[in-house]
Amino acid sequence: MDDDQTVSVHLSPTFNFWHGFPPTITTPEEEESVTKITELQEKSQHEFDKQYSDPKKLLKFISSRHLKPTIRQHLPHSYRFSIWSQLISTRSKIPRVSIDSILSKHLNEETQALLDIEKDLNRTFPTHSLFLSDDYRNKLRRTLQAYSFLYPSIGYCQSMSLIVGTLLFVFTDIDDIFNAFIYVMSLIPQYHIPSMLPLRVDLEVLADLVQSYITRVHNAFSSCSIPLSALVSSWFLSLFSNDLPMETTLRVWDCLLIEGDKILFRVALGWLKMNEDIVIDIARTSNFGLIREMTEKTVQINELFAIAFSFPRFSKRKIARLRVRKEKELLKSAPKR
């Protein structure tokens, strides 16, 4: 990828800050948050245009130590294609793959994964106009089909369509979409394998972290019929794309591509801490559906990130140790066959 391609702007003219998913505003506080976030995004666009419109300057920024702290603060959508493409091309350990080279080897094959993919095409962001088009739907279909053939041990799991769908807000070329999907999936444990053991492990890790960092929430859910981890499993399965507003999801993914899957735990903890009192009330009243309603309105991105990155002693090594311990516990408690 040459420098000019690296900094090309791929912002669809149909996208505004909310990417075709305008937030539902029901209170003056929410209206104020939306106005504030929109103003910050416009300011961010101006700052990036001023500093990084030159290809060489943008390339230098992407490889500098300033990238991570800047991305944690803001990133205008028009620069996502450039930055994400460069990160993937320089960090991916998997050789770039042509989607046609995979699908051409499996013509006329029928698998359960292909049948499941077809069922989910119309369920992926069904209210968004882009996903009503044959072009977008076909890119979604082909990407998921090729991945199921390339990684048959994973095949297809429902939330994977939402991950690919999110990538369609950044990339337009089918091979870019496919290779970005492969890279994103390589950043996380294999949540989508049939046993879902890695997902169960990470939900147990999250439960431990909640106990350590947000004890009141842990205590509130300790006597509930439904564990908190079960209520937030889609956060990890879809990498928040099924729950948070699209721009909030993309901001999480900005950090995911730079910092790895630790960001999933940080954002989960940050959201629970930001809404601590309401979450405790949800546990008390068993009004569990309110969690989904609230996540869909999470537009206070900078507030969420400020809390998410405030938790101390939060290292990848700590997450790795917890994963090893929780996996052993789950395997030990599994019924013998």
Tens of pLDDT, residues 95-153: 999 999 999 999 999 999 999 999 999 999 998 888 889 999 999 999 999 999 999 99
pLDDT of residue 93: 92
pLDDT of residue 157: 95
Confidence of residue 313 (pLDDT cuts 50, 70, 90): confident
Assess whether pLDDT exceeds 80 at residue 17: no
Confidence of residue 275 (pLDDT cuts 50, 70, 90): very high
- For residues 131 and 126, give the distance between their C-alpha atoms in angstroms, rounded to a whole number: 7
Assess whether pLDDT exceeds 60 at residue 159: yes
- For residues 9 and 85, give the distance between their C-alpha atoms in angstroms, rounded to a whole number: 11
pTM of full prediction above 0.85: yes
306-325 average pLDDT score: 94
CB 326 within 8 A of CB 318: no
Assess whether pLDDT exceeds 60 at residue 12: no
Largest pairwise CA distance in the chain: 63
- For residues 117 and 143, give the distance between their C-alpha atoms in angstroms, rounded to a whole number: 10
pLDDT of residue 16: 55
pLDDT, averaged across the chain? 90
Between the CA of residue 332 and those of 222, 336, 337, what are the distances in Å?
Answer: 22, 9, 12
Domains of the chain: 26-90 (no CATH), 99-186 (1.10.8.270), 197-333 (1.10.472.80)
Average the pLDDT over each of 16-20, 263-267, 288-292, 300-304 and give the range with the smallest value.
16-20
pLDDT of residue 33: 77
Backbone phi, psi, residue 17, to 5°: -60, -30
Assess whether pLDDT exceeds 80 at residue 1: no
Q: What is the CA radius of gyration of the chain?
A: 20
